[in-house]
Amino acid sequence: MSTNLEVKVWRGREQGGFTSYKVPRRDSQTVLDVVTYIQRQLDPTLSYRFACRVGMCGSCAMTVNGVARWTCRTSVAKVAVDGKLEIAPLANLPVIKDLTTDMVEFFDKWAQAKGQFKGRHSRHDDFARVEPTSRERIAANAGIECIGCGICYASCDIVTWRPNFLGPAALNRAWTLANDVRDTRWVERLRAVAGDAGCHSCHTQGSCSERCPKRIEPTAGIAGLKRLVAKSAIRGEL
Amino acid sequence: MKRNNDFRARAHPAYWAFLVHRISGLALAVFLPLHFWLLGQAIHGEAALDGILGFTDRTAFRFGEWGLVVLLALHLMGGVRLLLIEFLPWSGLRKNWIAGALGFGVAAGLAFALALIS
């Protein structure tokens, strides 16, 4: 193991460049540890975002050696090439400063995809009973662990090519709600995801499913939405 | 302007399958009008069609024909994979089909090459 890592870090906004730092190599070191070392020991003006450090909050995603990753759970040993790291902000999102991106458009698209749950019962009603082995529950289960890190969105070429594309995370959210038997906005949501910016724009490149740190496969949800939209259109429901 | 990904973000089999499917589809789309134009020569009689067929009976065209067969084989298998992903219960990105499509393309190419030289 080399004693120092050679780390290139993006500085600036969209216009900017990489600055090199030497960071001591440690056992069990994560990429977030490296960024934190630089900010605390070498250059306090470096901006980056993190919170939980244990892979729950989804705030520390960055581009590491060209691939979007959650840095708190990414071991340096796994991604460093010849003791070198290149750390940049996520692609497909505006850069606020250095490694910090503006996530507003990412979450706005969740709202555009009707990602809010709206049930028909109030707190005065009994609990809804959802059979754990039902087809809908199993389909929803496959997508509900999303932590909103934006890695799928940053990895998706369709988002680059068609900036109004809702993106894998928003469509995955729409799919989980489409399979929530308590939800009441079914038709409204299918209309929201059926347009040019929705599920039919996906080219099945699979980068979202490849890169998701939670091993969610948005490609599955997008394929499911395509089927639902087609069936509903044939039935005249849309 | 936002930062874009480079080749490193795209280095995985499902993306390569997308590229092969798209490029082979575009190449076949370019070929089809030529194909129909050539067949259309039959309207002008047997001699016209034979004349153009004779013109294409040379090595460069044979090599092109071999390329078309390979592209068609890859596009066919890639298309079946997409249909499986879209219409059957989810079973991942079906990378086994990507490997199968590559094998099928190679086999089709070798078989056609054998037919050409025999």
Contact at CB, A223 and B4, closer than 8 angstroms:
no
Write down all domains in chain A, each with its CATH number in brackets.
Answer: 4-101 (3.10.20.30), 104-234 (1.10.1060.10)
**pLDDT, mean of residues B84-113:** 94
Strand partners, A23: A5
Of B2, B12, B18, Cβ closest to residue A91:
B2
**pLDDT, mean of residues A161-188:** 96
pLDDT over 60 (residue A139): yes
* CA-based nearest residue in chain B for residue A94: B2
CA dist list (Å): B117 to A126, B63, B114: 76, 11, 5
How close B69 comes to chain A (CA, Å)? 24
Chain B contact set for A63 (CB, 8 A):
3, 5, 9
Own/partner pairs, A2-7, CB within 8 angstroms, 24+ separation? A2/A83, A4/A83, A5/A34, A5/A76, A5/A80, A5/A83, A5/A84, A5/A85, A6/A83, A6/A84, A6/A85, A7/A34, A7/A38, A7/A84, A7/A85, A7/A86, A7/A87
% of chain B beyond a pLDDT of 70: 100
Chain B contact set for A85 (CB, 8 A):
none
pLDDT over 60 (residue A1): no
pLDDT digit string, tens, across residues A46-90 = 999 999 999 999 999 999 999 999 999 999 999 999 999 999 999
Contact at CB, A209 and B5, closer than 8 angstroms:
no
Of A66, A157, A204, Cβ closest to residue B85:
A204
Indicate the average pLDDT of chain A.
Answer: 96
Mark residue A66 as left, alpha or beta (left: phi above 0; alpha: psi -120 to 50; beta: remaining): left
Q: How far apart are CA A8 and CA A18, in angstroms?
A: 6
**ipTM for the whole complex:** 0.91
Q: How far apart are CA A102 and CA B79, in angstroms?
A: 37
Contact at CB, A205 and B9, closer than 8 angstroms:
no
Instruction: Let me know if domain B19-117 sits in CATH 1.20.1300.10.
Output: yes
% of chain A beyond a pLDDT of 90: 94
Chain B contact set for A159 (CB, 8 A):
none
Of B4, B14, B22, Cβ closest to residue A91:
B4
Q: List Cβ neighbours of B5 (8 Å cut-off, separation of 6 or more).
A: A63, A66, A91, A92, A154, A155, A157, A160
